[in-house]
Structures are given as structure tokens and as C-alpha cells.
Amino acid sequence: MSDSLERSTKINLLKESIVKKLCEVLDKSNSKGWRKLGEIVSSDRRFKVSSDDMEMCSLRVLEVEGSPSLMLLRLMGERGCTMGHLTDYLQTLGNSDALQCLKPPALQILIQPQSVALICGHNLRLSCHAVGKSPVQYQWFKSREEVPNSFSPELLISPVQLKDAGFYICRVNCGDACEFSQWAQVDVLNVTMSYAPGQSYQSIDGRLKLAIHPQSQRLHVGETLQLECGAVGRPIPRYQWHRNGVPIPNATKRKLMIPQVMQDHHGRYRCEISSSTERMWTNEVDVVIAPRISVQISGAMECSEDDIYAIGGDSCELFLNSLPEQLYATDKVALLIGNLSYQNHPQLKAPMVDVYDLTNLLRQLNFKVVSLLDLTESEMRNAVDEFLLLLHKGVYGLLYYAGHGYENYGNSFMVPVDAPNPYHSANCLCVQSILKLMQEKETGLNVFLLDMCRKRNIHDESTPNIVLRVTANIVFGYATCQDAEAFELSSTGFTNGVFVKFLKKRLLDDEKITVVLDRVAEDMGQFDATKGKQALEIRSSLSERRALTDPILPSDSADLVHAHSRQWAKAHELPESMSLNFDCGAQIKLGFAAEFSNVLVIYTHIVKKPEDMSFCQAHVTDFSLDLDVDPKEMNRETPEETGIYLLSSSLPQHCLYTRLSSLQKLREELVFTVCLQGTFAAMDDDHPIFWTKSVNIGKPLIARLDLHRAVRRNSCLQTCMMPHSPSQSPCHSPGPEHQHHLHHGSHQDYNRLSPQHGYLHISEHAQGAAGGCSFSCYDQLSQCDFDRAYESDGLLSSPGKLSIPIEATEDINELQAVFISSLHLQPQ
């Protein structure tokens, strides 16, 4: 590079390391520091620095690690100052140390060695290139030992062996100057264990390639769990192991080892493998932990269960028969539905948080979970159909519903978000109909957790005739008693309803499911805010000690199990993150996360931009009209601004975020546009320039299951048919004259809790009543508050930019005192 070119280079393009050294020198000097430099620059009309500018620079001294010199250099760079100008100013200043910072070093490493993961038997090549004022010499090291005959800029080991794995560094000498390169880690994979299907490893092009998948294991308590995975790529991949969808703390290596496993270590394991631009997942594998049974015979020896029959004796057989039987599930499947954004009825708040928290807890118990928000009638029926496809003999099936509901003649009905006002049984889903279909699958355990009101629907006189089989494996957990409401307490927090607030504290207990629910009922009974108004009701025909913590022992029907697993996996396949390269030289990372099975989060991050580009930002746009995305809530700088409250703490920072909900409505593959906007410092008008790329990510998450389709003939609709079904007597909303009449009956006493308005409220702002199936939410006389009125600490009415915690950690006694002291009816 010529001297004239160096002098013409703008100082805002200086390398960060040079700027840092220069600022350190100018900040420390009193007589020849940044103040004197500012005075010299201010005399130059081309880059005049005002007294206000100098005052702004001086304020940086008060900041932690603040640098007034850095502020001054930025001001000079914004006004077109070049290296030539800066050199002249520093010569006038007479600061030789500062001038020395601008001179090229006697030895400079231009290319650093990069960490790499590769296959045993391939060629390893590490590079380190440097320039200096005299010939440069190289010496490679592995840890602290010199690598023999490694005197060139490139270290080549061919073929690489397992023993060659480790950390490498290069020492560079140029005369009296000496520099060390950065460390490079080399990971060598032995893939004789397991090859990823359909992949080739003949060369490394820098992209991640999955080479080793973990294998399923069956262990006994006390044994050591060892799982291994591996990927090749440059730089070396990062690893994070997950169990039941939850990251395992400190499990960030290729090999996962857990000595002396316990019963609660059973579950489904997989590893997330990532680089700066890519992310992929290994296969998910089952780890089954069986209890180790040992007995002492005649006080002389200790035998395992496998040894007892070899010893023989009727007493041994009798002893084993007297031991409590370990119960297993062939699989565990859960469908969680939260309806809150109703079209014709009061909207709810807590279902979103309830579903999210239960999803995370059930995954820790090794459940395959499908979590969905805001489903219409047809979508709910199709979701139940897909749920039923996951069930087979011995499976534990769990259905949780949070939203409006009612109960007639012992049958419970879940209300979709598009239900008319008033609604009938034909517009809703009958829980007992779903149970009947589950029984046909010969499931091992059927658990229903219904977080809704159970008031009678006076607009529905149908009497469904649903004949259930007599099975000893059914458990119902109702959030409230028959003919009563379930409450939602509203305040400025963001937390669960009453039922889930107490349920999530007990759900992981290793107890019979009915015992768990009994303890939840006792906890709810101590909550003064709802005492005498809401109580958990448990109905059970369970004759065995079935628990949600029971381990999974897959059935012998391997093909059937794999088919069900593939079906479940469809609803949880996230698009892989991708790197987009634009013609201007910018590189964008496009990442994805799932908040629910039908809610996708897209985030964009600038990985690289041209040095002369002063501003760069990437937006996503042009989404399908099926998703009904609000442009005002797209491409926000914080997750909370776009409605992402529950994942905010786990998303990467410094991105633009977009939340896509209702993915079940997506009829075609999701195609959208990534728009890059940039401005260049050299342009006088500062008008932005745009580049676009079209991205197709297929059908993500639940969209793959096509829940938008028409209800199939063999769906749960057949068992929900009532005399007043849409095919016989369509439902209509009341006419305007009826609506007007009902509005006149809205005056009531707000100082007490009305038995017909199940809503507890401690906010001063009206947020709507909870009359789910009445003609109008103002109708006092209809006794129609059949909706779910949660106890929730509420969504923020005006979400700010602060991160909102997912789980409530408030002291329950303090919360009770607040509720009791300010209890009054929700204003209409």
C-alpha cells in the first residue's frame, strides 16, 4: 500500500486495535493529549471542532471506561478527517508515542489459525501468515511441545489421527520481534461408531456436517450414562445437550457423561450443534433408567434381580412378587390448548403463560408436547385428530385446555375462539368424546386437566349420549367444581391462572397422579383470594400407581413407535438458521425459535458489513396473508415490542425480531423477503440502498400438519354431533334489538363478587367481563357466565421494553393480602 493511499484513508476505517492504542496514549497525556489535539483541529476550518464538541468529549471521562479521545476521533472521522490530516495534527502536537501507534508494526500476523473439527484419516491444515520488515520465521506448537519440522506458515498433518487432537499455536519471529498466533483447537472424530445417513465427509468446506449421532441407551440406576455426537466444520462447532427439550447445565461438550444415573435422568436426549452462522440438531434418543433391585439372601450375599432366579428357591420368587411393580409408559404425549383471543366473547390473559409453563414442565417428564394457542373449531378438531394419531397401546395421554368452557349433564365442552354468541354443543368440542377415542387406542393413562368454567349453558339443551368403556386409567382434574367458575385475577404482573400457579409446583413430584392433584387441591384451598369460590375437583378411576414421572419403555412395535415419533416431530421441526450473503458484501444471519407449536419467532442479525457502510439493517417482510401479520409489530429491536414475552431471555441480542402466530392457518410454504437496507459514508445524500432476497422455509412447526383443512369424516366431530348441530339447526347471533335490550341491564353492585361474574380484579382499568356464552357480557339475568375467568397476575396492558419473567416468583402470602384488600368485581 502506497504512502499516498495510506494518507487518504479515512480515520473511521482504522482498525480497532490501532484506535484503542492511540486513545490510551492521548487519554493519559496531559500537555500533549486529546484536549490539545482538539484545539489544533478546531483551528482547521475543514474539521472545526466547537467548544460544545470538546465539552461532550470531556463528559466521557465521567463514564465507566469512557474515552474522550475516542469521542474526538469519531467526531473527526464523521467530518472526513484522513490519516494524512491526523498524522499532521499529531506532528504539530509533538506526541511521538501517538505517531508510533499509526506506524505499521515491525511484525504483523495477517492470517490466524482457525479451530477445526474433522474426521480421523483426513488431512489437517492450519495456516498462519505474517509480514514484517525482515524475513519471517515460524514454529508450531501443540500445547507446550514443539511440533517437529513445522517451520512453514502452514501446518499439514496427513492423515490426521485421534492422537493429533488438541490445541495448536504458532510462534512468529521477525528479527527481534516475536508474536504468537491465537490458539486453534483441533477435534478429531472417529466416525466408525455412527455415520449420519446420506452425508459425505471427503472435504471440509467450512459448513457444519453432522457425523456422529447419539444412540439410545437402557441403563440401571447407578450406572454411567455416556452419549456422544459430533460434527465437522471450521471453526469448531459448539455443543449444547438437551433433555426433554430443556438445556442441560454445563453440558457443552461432544460427549455427555453422567455418572451414577438416577431414575429422574430418564428421558429423550438430543444435542444442538451450532456455529456462528448455522445450527442443527442430532437425532433425539431415548434413555431408559430401570431401577436396580438387590436383595440379601440368608444374610450372606447380595444379589441383583438377574441373579435371584439363578440361585433358585420359592422364597426368592415370593420375594420378587411382593416387590412393588415398576410401571412404564410406552410413550408420553400431551396436547395443550390455550384459547384467549376470542372473536365474540371476552378475551382472556393467563392461558398463554399457563400453556407455556406446562409445556416446559411436561417436557422435563419426557412428554412429547404439542402446544397451541387460539384455535378455531375446525382447527381444534383437527389438532385432536393429530393428537390421537400419537396414541397407541400403553401410551400416557394428557390433554390440557385453558379457555372458555361449560358443562351440561356431566359432559364438558371446550369453546373455540370462533364460537358464535351464544354457542351450542355443535360449536364446541366435547371432552368425553375425546376420551372415548383415546380409550379405543388402549392408552395406559388418560389425564384431562380442564382449566375452564363448568357453569351450565342455558342455550344448549342437547343431551349427548356418549358411552365410555370401563377402564381403570382415567383421571380428570377440573380447575373448579361443577356449576362454578374458574377465576382469573388481573394485576400488573404476567403469570399463571390459579390452577396452574399451584399445579406447576407439584407436577414434577414422583407420586401417583391423583396424589399430585390432591396436593394441588390442598394448596388451592389455602389461597384466600378464591377460597369459597373456586376449588379443584378430581375424578378418577385409576387403580394402579400411575405417575407422570413413570419411565418410558418403548413397545416392541418399533415401526409403529417410529411412525408416531415422526408424526410428532413434524409439529416441532424448526427451520435451520441460515446465512444470507448480499452483493454489497454484507452477511446476514437468519434465525428461528419456537414460542409455541404454532408461534414462530424470526430474528435477523448483521454478521458482516462492508467497512465503508455506515448503516446496515435487515428486515423481513412480504408474509403470507394467511398469517395476518401486523407490520407495526414486525422487525422490532426488542422481543417484547413484538409480543415475545416468554422467550425474550433465551433469544440472541442485538437483532430485529418478528413473531408469527397462528401458523396452523398457513396453507402454502412460508415464503418471505429479507430486505437489507444500507447507507455508505462516501455518499453525500445518505439515501439508503436496498437489496432483497426471497427465502422459502417450507411449512414450519404445526403448519406441516395442515390443521386448516376441512374436518375429516372420521374426526372427533362424529362423536360430538348433537341434535342442534350446524347441519340441522345453524346457530345465529342475537339480533340488534336483543343486544339493545341486554345492554340496559348492566347496572350492578361492584363492591362484591357476583356469583354470575367469575372475575377477580385488582386493576383500576376495565378489561372486559367474562361472560363467555351469554348473549352479551352485560346480561346480568341470563346466568350465562360459562367462560373461564382465570386467576392471573395478568399480561401487561401496555408492554414496555423490559424483559418480563416467565414464571411468577412473588411471595404467595403477600399476593393474597393484596388480593383480599382490593377485591372487587371486574368493571363492565
| Helix or strand holding residue 412 (H, E) | strand 411-414
Q: Is the domain of 586 the same as that of 553?
A: no
Per-residue pLDDT tens over the stretch 164-203: 999 999 999 988 888 899 999 999 998 764 444 334 344 4
Please report, for the domain that includes residue 150, its CATH number: 2.60.40.10
pLDDT of residue 711: 67
- Locate cell 410454504: which residue? 669
Considering Cα of 634, then 640, then 644, then 648, what sign does the dihedral take?
A: positive
| Helix or strand holding residue 333 (H, E) | strand 331-338
Residue 139, domain member (yes or no): yes
Q: Is the domain of 370 the same as that of 252?
A: no
| Interatomic CA distance for residues 611 and 13, integer angstroms | 7
Q: Which of 170, 271, 428, 453 is catalytic?
A: 453
| Interatomic CA distance for residues 377 and 716, integer angstroms | 11
Q: Which amino acid is at 563?
A: A
pLDDT of residue 685: 61
pLDDT of residue 825: 32
Residue 776, domain member (yes or no): no
> Would you say how long the chain is, in residues?
828
544, 327 contact by CB (below 8 A): yes
Residue 736, domain member (yes or no): no
- The model's confidence at residue 335, banded by pLDDT at 50, 70 and 90, is very high
Active site residue 453: yes
Q: Is the domain of 386 the same as that of 431?
A: yes
Read out DSSP for 184-248?
Answer: EEEEEE-TTS-PPTT---S---SS-EEEE----EEEETTS-EEEE-EEEBSSPPEEEEEETTEEP
Of 402, 400, 335, 407, the closest CA to residue 374 belongs to: 402
| Helix or strand holding residue 97 (H, E) | helix 96-102
Residue 366, domain member (yes or no): yes
Considering Cα of 752, then 770, then 387, then 333, what sign does the dihedral take?
A: negative
Please report, for the domain that includes residue 643, its CATH number: 2.60.40.3360
Read out DSSP for 150-196?
Answer: --SSEEEESS--GGG-EEEEEEEEETTEEEE---EEEEEE-TTS-PP
CA 212 from chain centre, in angstroms, equals 25
Of 254, 513, 271, the closest CA to residue 397 belongs to: 513
| Interatomic CA distance for residues 574 and 595, integer angstroms | 11
Q: Is the domain of 374 the same as that of 471?
A: yes
- The model's confidence at residue 356, banded by pLDDT at 50, 70 and 90, is very high
- Cα–Cα–Cα angle for 732, 737, 741, nearest 5°? 110
For residue 806, pLDDT beyond 90: no
Q: Is the peptide bond before 291 cis (omega within 30 degrees of 0)?
A: no
Read out DSSP for 559-609?
Answer: HHHHHHHHHHHHTT-PPPPEEEE-TTS-EEEEEEEEEETTEEEEEEEEEE-
Q: At what angle do helices 377-389 and 431-440 cross, to 10 degrees?
A: 20
Taking phi over 0 as left and psi of -120 to 50 as alpha, with beta for the rest, 622 belongs to left
Of 635, 613, 620, the closest CA to residue 580 belongs to: 620
Mean pLDDT calculated for residue range 548-568: 70
Q: At what angle do helices 51-59 and 34-42 cross, to 10 degrees?
A: 160
- The model's confidence at residue 679, banded by pLDDT at 50, 70 and 90, is confident
- 243, three cell numbers: 433433555
Q: Is the domain of 44 the same as that of 148?
A: no
Q: Is the domain of 434 the same as that of 547?
A: yes
Q: Is the domain of 555 the same as that of 462?
A: yes
State which of 297-311, 497-511, 633-647 shows the largest mean pLDDT: 497-511
Q: Is the domain of 480 the same as that of 377?
A: yes
Q: At what angle do helices 68-78 and 34-42 cross, to 10 degrees?
A: 20
Considering Cα of 261, then 265, then 270, then 273, what sign does the dihedral take?
A: negative
501, 489 contact by CB (below 8 A): no
Per-residue pLDDT tens over the stretch 725-760: 333 333 333 333 333 333 333 333 333 333 323 334
- Locate cell 373456586: which residue? 534
588, 618 contact by CB (below 8 A): yes
State which of 355-364, 529-538, 774-783 shows the largest mean pLDDT: 355-364
HSE, CB side, 13 Å, CA atoms: give it for residue 343: 14
Q: Which amino acid is at 118?
A: L
| Interatomic CA distance for residues 209 and 211, integer angstroms | 6
Question: Distance between terminal CA atoms of the chain?
Answer: 76
Per-residue pLDDT tens over the stretch 578-616: 889 998 889 999 999 999 999 999 999 998 888 888 888
Residue 303, domain member (yes or no): no
Of 793, 799, 789, the closest CA to residue 826 belongs to: 789
Q: At what angle do helices 558-570 and 377-389 cross, to 10 degrees?
A: 150
| Interatomic CA distance for residues 141 and 181, integer angstroms | 11
Residue 144, helix vs strand vs coil: coil
Residue 437, domain member (yes or no): yes
Please report, for the domain that includes residue 95, its CATH number: 1.10.533.10
Cα–Cα distances (Å) from 641 to 434, 603, 689, 780, 795, in that order, read: 38, 13, 26, 38, 13
Number of domains in the chain: 5
Express as a percent the part of the chain with pLDDT over 70. 73
| Interatomic CA distance for residues 200 and 744, integer angstroms | 75
**Higher per-residue pLDDT: 770 or 714:** 714
Alpha-carbon dihedral 489, 495, 500, 501, rounded to 10 degrees: -80
CA 687 from chain centre, in angstroms, equals 37
Q: Is the domain of 237 the same as that of 153?
A: no
186, 165 contact by CB (below 8 A): yes
Q: Is the domain of 96 the same as that of 118?
A: no
Mean pLDDT calculated for residue range 207-235: 89
For residue 765, pLDDT beyond 80: no
Of 655, 628, 660, the closest CA to residue 643 belongs to: 660
Please report, for the domain that includes residue 425, its CATH number: 3.40.50.1460
Q: For residue 820, what are the contacts with CB-CB under 8 A and spacing of at least 6?
A: 528, 529
HSE, CB side, 13 Å, CA atoms: give it for residue 349: 29
Domain boundary among 103, 123, 157: 103
Of 509, 514, 511, 506, the closest CA to residue 540 belongs to: 514
| Interatomic CA distance for residues 38 and 154, integer angstroms | 46
Residue 601, domain member (yes or no): yes
Q: Which of 213, 266, 345, 404 is catalytic?
A: 404
Mean pLDDT calculated for residue range 774-791: 34
| Helix or strand holding residue 433 (H, E) | helix 431-440
Q: Is the domain of 358 the same as that of 472?
A: yes
HSE, CB side, 13 Å, CA atoms: give it for residue 215: 8
For the beta sheet containing 368-373, the strands, ordered from the edge strand earlier in sequence to the opposite edge, are 368-373, 331-338, 395-402, 445-451, 474-478, 537-540
Domain boundary among 567, 596, 631: 567
Q: What is the mean pLDDT of the chain?
A: 76
- 807, three cell numbers: 414464571
Q: Is the peptide bond before 235 cis (omega within 30 degrees of 0)?
A: yes
Of 65, 50, 74, the closest CA to residue 614 belongs to: 74
Of 343, 334, 422, 345, the closest CA to residue 375 belongs to: 343
267, 217 contact by CB (below 8 A): no
Q: At what angle do helices 68-78 and 16-28 cross, to 10 degrees?
A: 120
| Interatomic CA distance for residues 344 and 347, integer angstroms | 9
Residue 245, domain member (yes or no): yes
Owning domain of residue 48: 1-103
Question: Using the 8-state DSSP alphabet, how is residue 528 labeled?
Answer: T
HSE, CB side, 13 Å, CA atoms: give it for residue 606: 19
Report the range of poorest mean pLDDT among 353-357, 615-619, 660-664, 820-824: 820-824
**301, burial (CB in 10 Å: exposed 0-12, middle 13-18, buried 19+):** exposed
- The model's confidence at residue 777, banded by pLDDT at 50, 70 and 90, is very low
**Higher per-residue pLDDT: 789 or 599:** 599
Mean pLDDT calculated for residue range 770-783: 32
Q: Is the domain of 273 the same as that of 400?
A: no
Mean pLDDT calculated for residue range 521-535: 85
State which of 657-661, 713-717, 797-801 shows the largest mean pLDDT: 657-661
**Higher per-residue pLDDT: 64 or 681:** 681
Domain boundary among 288, 308, 338: 288
Active site residue 404: yes
- Locate cell 472435504: which residue? 203
For residue 440, pLDDT beyond 70: yes
- The model's confidence at residue 492, banded by pLDDT at 50, 70 and 90, is low
C-beta atoms surrounding 708 within 10 Å:
17
